[in-house]
Amino acid sequence: MSAVGGTPESDRIGRRAAAREINGRQVNEAIERGEKDAGAASFVCECGYLGCTESVDLSIAAYEDVRSNFDRFLIIPGHEIDEVDEIVERHPGYHVVVKRQGEPREMARAADERTP
């Protein structure tokens, strides 16, 4: 497992992955707002892979558990990027990852609409 900040290439990979993950989160935030009364929704994978179209059905409460902090993201198993993500929870059909230290983590903090 390599850490972001080692080389210009790993820094670039980290920034691009974080930007894609943040975009996925913004999509899921909109889904959650639209489905709040339904109690469940189909959420997109918030991984850093370009073109990922995977999704997972979760209750709104389960998604809220994922979103308990700015650095936590919902991904499909196998979609973690070692340079950026650390798996902190494993569930049937999805994992929760946190952003490793460095620029991807700071990007997640800056883009999180829930962080003051």
Strand partners, 99: 85
91 domain-assigned = yes
Q: How many domains does the chain have?
A: 1
Lowest mean pLDDT among 35-39, 52-56, 85-89: 35-39
49 domain-assigned = yes
**pTM over the 0.75 mark:** yes
- Give the start-end residues of each E strand in 1-116: 40-44, 55-59, 72-75, 85-91, 94-99
Q: Which residues contact 116 (CB under 8 A, 6 or more apart)?
A: none
2 domain-assigned = no
Distance of CA 23 to the CA centre of its chain: 9
pLDDT of the residue at 83 = 80
Question: How much is the CA Rg of the chain, to the nearest whole Å?
Answer: 14
1 domain-assigned = no
Does 27 have pLDDT greater than 60?
yes
pLDDT of the residue at 5 = 52
pLDDT of the residue at 4 = 46
Instruction: Give the pairing of strands 85-91 and 55-59.
Output: unpaired
pLDDT of the residue at 76 = 96
pLDDT of the residue at 61 = 92
34 domain-assigned = yes
The arithmetic mean of pLDDT across residues 71-75, rounded, is 94
The 3-state DSSP class for residue 69 equals coil
78 domain-assigned = yes
What domain range includes position 28? 8-111
For the chain, give the percent of residues with pLDDT over 90.
Answer: 43
31 domain-assigned = yes
